[in-house]
Amino acid sequence: MHMTFEHVSCDLCGGEKYKLRYRKPDNWLWLNQFEFPVVECLNCGLVYVNPRPPESSMADYYPKGYHDNRDSEGHMLRYKIQAEFLPPLQDENVLDIGCARGDWLIYLKGLYPRIKACGIDSYADSTKSGDVHLMCRKLPECRFHDSEFDIITSWAVFEHLHRPSEYFKEVARILKAKGAFVMLVTNSESLYGKKAFVEDVPRHLFHFSETMLQKYAEKYGLIMTSCLYDDRLFDGRGIGTFYYWFLFKAGITWQHIYFSQFSKTQRLAGNIGAALDRIVFKKHWEAERKKSGILIAKFTKP
């Protein structure tokens, strides 16, 4: 694997200056040991991975099968909850951005058979339903008409994009006036995003927050109508906060973690941290206090 990295300016404001929040390697796949810097724009506050793998090498970071099996029972429960975030539908034109194989749209069509369902995904190759129009493209390449969609959804997708601004701009163009755009993203202003190292770096290239989404909306002509913190779809708790705090205090680095080099004392420190995580994050108090690592934002177009 030939590794390249690109250094980028802020996607929201174009700012070049930032401060480092933390570094984190790809501790899921460990394709390499590079500790990706997660930075915060000094001008607008956007949190993003920089430098990062360019779009051309991103496929390496998604193992084969990453987008498969989204029609399992667990996913079906997720779709049931997702539907709660939408208004009751009749014959609307619905678009899902990053639809994988369109299982969410198939579910939605089961609820509302008269809707027109379109899904896009740069990686998906097929869908099980002839009722869902699937496009294997990036949103700006789809050439939809102005104000074509009544409802646009995007679940845990925008944090994966290389240029979310292009998507916000395009959503604002293709959404009907008074239509609804519903998105789920991770929250940079949570323990999950700040201290617990849960963000799936480098697949999560952007770590948004309510404030940042509001700035994007303002810039591209959308209005945020609500921002909900809900842990039911994905777990947004800060589990890992104490584990890593204790480990790093005990002198552990990501390299030690990679090679599993722990002394007895360090192992003990990790165990104490993990125990504290289990106690402190037993309940979903962060979601109740609007501090969860997962947020669901709704927008409309004036």
Maximum Cα interatomic distance, the chain, rounded to a whole number of Å: 62
Q: Is residue 43 within the footprint of Zn ion (CB under 5 A)?
A: yes
Query: Between residues 40 and 148, which has the closer beta carbon with respect to Zn ion?
Result: 40
Q: Does 184 bind Zn ion (CB under 5 A)?
A: no
| 147 sits near Zn ion (criterion: CB under 5 A) | no
Least distance from C-beta 212 to Zn ion, angstroms?
9
Is 44 or 280 the residue whose CB approaches Zn ion more closely? 44
> Could you give the strand order of the β-sheet that contains 175-186, starting from the edge strand earlier in sequence?
132-135, 116-120, 93-97, 149-155, 175-186, 294-300, 223-229
**27 contacts Zn ion (rule: CB under 5 A):** no
CB nearer Zn ion, residue 43 or residue 214: 43
Q: Is 227 in the site for Zn ion (CB under 5 A)?
A: no
Q: CA dist 91 to 133, 135, 232, 299, Å?
A: 15, 21, 28, 20
Q: What is the dihedral of CA 208, 38, 97, 189, to 10 degrees?
A: -20
Asked if 40 interacts with Zn ion (CB under 5 A), we say no
Q: Which are the contacts of 264, defined by CB distance < 8 A and separation ≥ 6?
A: none
Closest distance between Zn ion and the C-beta of residue 168, in Å?
Answer: 14
Applying CB under 5 A, the span of 2-10, 31-39, 153-161, 249-257 interacting with Zn ion comes to 2-10
Instruction: Choose, by CB under 5 A, the member of 46, 120, 196, 296 that binds Zn ion.
Output: 46
Sequence-distant (≥ 6) Cβ neighbours of residue 291 within 8 angstroms: 187, 189, 190, 191, 229
Contact call for residue 15 and Zn ion (CB under 5 A):
yes
Residue selected from 41, 217, 296, 297 as contacting Zn ion according to rule CB under 5 A: 41
**Where does this chain bind Zn ion (CB under 5 A)?**
10, 12-13, 15, 41, 43-44, 46
